[in-house]
Structure 1
Amino acid sequence: MRPYLWSPWRTASADPSRLAVAAGPDTCTFGELTARADALGRGLRARGVPDGSVLSTDIPTGPRFFALALAALAHGYGLFPVEADLLRSSAGHRLTADMRVALHVTDDPAATADSLALPCPVTGDESLVLAGAARPPAPGPAVAAGYLAFATSGTTGEPQAVPRVRPRRPYRGVAVAERYAAGPGEGPHLMANASYHLGTLGPALYALQAGSAVIVQRDWSPALFTALADRHAVASTMLSPDLLVDVVTAGRAPAVPLRAVFHGGAACPPGVKRAAIALLGPVLHEYYGTSRSILTEISTQDWLGRPGSVGRALPGIDLVIDRDGTALPAGEPGEITAHLRAVDREGGDDAVLRTGDVGFLDAEGYLFVIGRAGNGGAQTNALLEHVVRALPDVTDVVVVDGPGPVCHVETRTPDRSPVLARAIGEAIAGRSLPVPRIVLYPSGALPRTASGKIRRAALAADGAAASRRPS
């Protein structure tokens, strides 16, 4: 089936009572969702917020959040979702200032205004809805579509704001592709990780625009994941690698087979992915990108032919492996750079996006990501991680520098730690890599961001503090 264009407003017109979003007891239909989105858009205009302005929000993912997201897309605003804890941290003021936020929209304006010192006014989404309801719909000139912008996850330091490009055309929805298992005739998408991140929020927002309901799982457990998938006959979901490990370890698939399981945001050990395919079926879609743009995608079938790959570049994107400004041939590791489509570039920005990751392309253009780039030591650490990640029973790994490199390894079989430790030592020795100190943990024990990535900076800080303690 060829892709076709669809939007929530088309779903609302065809079936206004169709479930749109459910987050526990908070639910709304497509008719209610789009009516609220339009009221929010008119409320922003009534308040005098200029076209194209950036809004920030800490409204939890659910009906009110998705209404605001659709209002931004259809009425021409940028939306910068910021986790409540991050907003209240020392980075919150800097992030909203760097993103040039004109207005912060929240579900509790009194508490937010009292507890934060943001460089912008604060308002409640309900007050915008009331202002919009008092302003009757009126035809006007079509405005360019809005967009969502994100912050980096902050695994290696402080999170950074990542501005995005505003589309040139009015909002028209999304191109619905059959392989993503979303659309007016499909079951819901289960948002198992309720965080603000391109990797977790992107598939949910796509499914909603395509005509599928979104079920938000705010409290994670593999048992609740399976229960929600069965209760709602879910068609698609997104699982970050740490959640994929939990589902594989629990060993129970939904009774109604999932049609698409997206995963990305961090490297997935091949052993974990094979176990996930065996449990859930050949329905995994892996993607790779940054907070600015998705760059590659790979299906289960392609991955089984090239285990460890994250796929080929999406149409219009050209991937280049770079070392000191020189493009490298197939098989040579270097920094992953992407020549972006014009639609993904800032007005005067360079067309080349430096990802900060190390990887290589094979002869057919399939990308393999090794780890984070940096100085020579950082790239050696990335190679260490790549080697260890490929071993059986490894569910995640991070190498950080201390007095010497320390290899933090999560495993599904902590009772077999001596066997795994020997296997790690043999794999490292066979590749002439430096021998790190190896620390083993059960799966899920290391500190993580809201999007499921290991907090490298926290581990490095802990190691530095330990090295300063008297023995």
Structure 2
Amino acid sequence: MSLEGSEEISIGTRIGQLAAAHPDRPAVIAVAPDGTRNSITWARLASESNAAARRLAEAGVTERTTVAVALPAGVDHVVATVAAWKLGALVVPLDPYATASERAAIATALGEHLSVGGPGSTVPAGSWRTGGYPTGPIPPRGVPRSASLTGGTTGLPRVVLRRKPWVYPPDGLLSPSERARGMRFEQVQLVVLPMYHAGFSALYQGLALDHQIVLMERFVPRLFPRLVQEFRVSYVRIVPALMRMILDVPDLGDFDLSTIEGVHHGAGPCPEKVKRRWLELIGPERVYEDYASQERVGSVLIRGDEWLAHPGSVGRPTDCEIRILDEDGKELPAGETGEIYLRSTSSRQPEYVGTGPALPERDGFFSIGDLGYLDEEGYLYLVDRKSNVINVGGANVYPAEVEAVLLGLSSVADAAVVPRPHEYLGQVAHALVVPADAARPPTATALAAHCREHLSPTKVPMSYEVVASVARKSSGKIRRRDLA
């Protein structure tokens, strides 16, 4: 696959255009938790990514290579990603803080790949700055693409390909869907989400739209209003857990947030009191919520003023049709809860790097396993987000994965992990543990230490409870609803 002879431009070419237009303007300003900054201009981003591309090519990267970028949020992440795309590679952003067992599972899912950053990195971060690599332009090669990690209720990672490659028709840089969510050309975008989460697509699409990117290397609530005011931020992609934390900043009302044109949130339900406070803070016409998935079978959108008329809804379809079906595939009337199925003109089964499961499909409509209902006006309301998966501040935690870690302890005979409500994060994981010796049950401290050794911080249960037994079906499956 190649762009040769095509009018479409790659994101690498686009960055070169913007470097020529305003070479000395900052493209990315990375902000550390203590407030210190590290910035890169458009000219330097273009030249340094050229050098990095040559370093990657020296390591064997071609348009057929999968490049795993396991760098913390920052300038090096941007340089490495753009460099890989200039070679036409497939980029997969990874959690730089994943544990050894998590990295091993991810490596299996990725198959053959080259890594930038992280333990055993093929190309260490910043190595392109010390080898005397030329910084001149590189002719476009291949078609730059990306993929993201996700998992089912088993917690086993799978890698879903992004439907759209990172190329653009000359007049199609800004899509109607992005415009409907508050994005514009030449905005100042504050990136608060991790690079292995929605922060990735928000940042790189922002670069294509000539955004100045203000990138928080790690989310610190008190910095949010200060950065919005200082840089006159106009666009933010966020999740409800972070929205709640920002509301608790003591002097939030003292800052000027009036420059914000769009706050776009998703990745989990937003508590009503948090939603209403943000509508008051920013203005309802500037707050956008959507319901979508990495499998890209369709999306639903609602703006704040619509939400006030339909509180609790995630909106109406923007590019798809919705059906609510019962277990037999019968379409349900308004107000009745069933499984959500979506169909758009581009709907199809997801593509994976390696293997992955097919989505449930009925008459061209696809389900990602969520339950909900429609009202009489066609607004969608979610009832449950993938019943077994625990949504911790917008990040999915898979009970089976955490249970497997707990069962690795000789002092644990059985275990189940269930969600518990949390004021800030929406949900957290709670572990129910059956001791191997009832007279000497494991302590919460010991359980937590074991989990921290084998799981990334988001997945570690917030609390532990010793129980006599875990309710199971005759098939051996946990009766999770009985434990909730």
TM-score (norm 1): 0.69
2: distance between equivalents of 1:136 and 1:454?
42
1: distance between equivalents of 2:165 and 2:246?
41
2:190 maps to which residue? Answer: 190
2:383 maps to which residue? Answer: 370
2:256 maps to which residue? Answer: 255
Alpha-carbon offset, residue 468 of structure 1: 5.7
Q: Percent identity?
A: 22
2: distance between equivalents of 1:41 and 1:466?
55
Alpha-carbon offset, residue 278 of structure 1: 0.9
1:332 paired to 2:331: no
1: distance between equivalents of 2:237 and 2:53?
29
1:458 maps to which residue? Answer: 461
1:300 paired to 2:312: no
Alpha-carbon offset, residue 159 of structure 1: 5.4
1: distance between equivalents of 2:461 and 2:308?
34
**1:265–1:453 Cα contact (<8 Å) kept:** no
More helix by share: 1
1:117 maps to which residue? Answer: none
Cα gap change, 1:11 to 1:145, in 2 (>3 Å): same
1:124 alignment partner, SS class:
coil
1:10 maps to which residue? Answer: 17
- Within 5 Å, which residues of 2 pair with 1:140-151? 143-151=142-150
Q: Which moved more, 1:49-58 or 1:333-342?
A: 333-342
CA-atom RMSD in angstroms: 4.0
1: distance between equivalents of 2:132 and 2:384?
47
Alpha-carbon offset, residue 134 of structure 1: 3.9
Cα gap change, 1:411 to 1:334, in 2 (>3 Å): same
- Within 5 Å, which residues of 2 pair with 1:66-465? 66-86=78-98, 88-106=99-117, 112-113=119-120, 122-128=122-128, 133-134=133-134, 137=137, 139=139, 143-152=142-151, 158=155, 160-165=157-162, 167=164, 170=167, 174-175=173-174, 178=179, 180=181, 182-186=183-187, 188-198=188-198, 200-250=199-249, 252-253=252-253, 254-257=255-258, 258-282=260-284, 283-293=286-296, 295-315=299-319, 317-329=320-332, 330-339=334-343, 342=346, 345-346=349-350, 353-374=366-387, 408-411=420-423, 458=461, 462-463=464-465, 465=466
Alpha-carbon offset, residue 336 of structure 1: 2.2
For 2:16, the aligned partner's letter is W
For 1:300, the aligned partner's letter is G
1:149 alignment partner, SS class:
strand
**2:160–2:294 Cα contact (<8 Å) kept:** no
Q: Deviations over 1:101-157 (max 9, x none)?
A: 410111x6xxx22xxxxxxx72224345667934864546x52232242334x8x66
Alpha-carbon offset, residue 14 of structure 1: 1.4
**2:57–2:87 Cα contact (<8 Å) kept:** no
1:420 maps to which residue? Answer: none
Alpha-carbon offset, residue 362 of structure 1: 2.7
Q: Deviations over 1:180-212 (max 9, x none)?
A: 5555543x21122345213x3332332222111
1:20 paired to 2:27: yes
Alpha-carbon offset, residue 369 of structure 1: 1.2
2: distance between equivalents of 1:323 and 1:355?
14
2: distance between equivalents of 1:46 and 1:171?
28
Cα gap change, 1:149 to 1:410, in 2 (>3 Å): closer
1: distance between equivalents of 2:225 and 2:17?
30
For 1:215, the aligned partner's letter is V
1:416 maps to which residue? Answer: none
Q: Which moved more, 1:74-83 or 1:273-282?
A: 74-83
For 2:100, the aligned partner's letter is S
1:97 alignment partner, SS class:
helix
2: distance between equivalents of 1:74 and 1:336?
39
Alpha-carbon offset, residue 355 of structure 1: 1.6
2: distance between equivalents of 1:158 and 1:458?
15
1:423 maps to which residue? Answer: none
1:393 maps to which residue? Answer: none
Q: Deviations over 1:251-309 (max 9, x none)?
A: 62541412111111111112210111112222111122223337222211221221111
1:76 alignment partner, SS class:
coil
1: distance between equivalents of 2:114 and 2:104?
13
**1:20–1:30 Cα contact (<8 Å) kept:** yes
2: distance between equivalents of 1:208 and 1:275?
30
1:458 alignment partner, SS class:
coil
Q: Which moved more, 1:125-134 or 1:188-197?
A: 125-134
Task: Count residues in correspondence.
Answer: 387
Alpha-carbon offset, residue 35 of structure 1: 2.5
For 2:314, the aligned partner's letter is V
1:50 alignment partner, SS class:
coil
1: distance between equivalents of 2:235 and 2:129?
31
Q: Which runs of 5+ in 1 are unaligned?
A: 114-120, 386-397, 413-446
**1:321–1:359 Cα contact (<8 Å) kept:** yes
**1:235–1:260 Cα contact (<8 Å) kept:** yes
**1:194–1:216 Cα contact (<8 Å) kept:** no
For 1:201, the aligned partner's letter is F
For 1:235, the aligned partner's letter is S
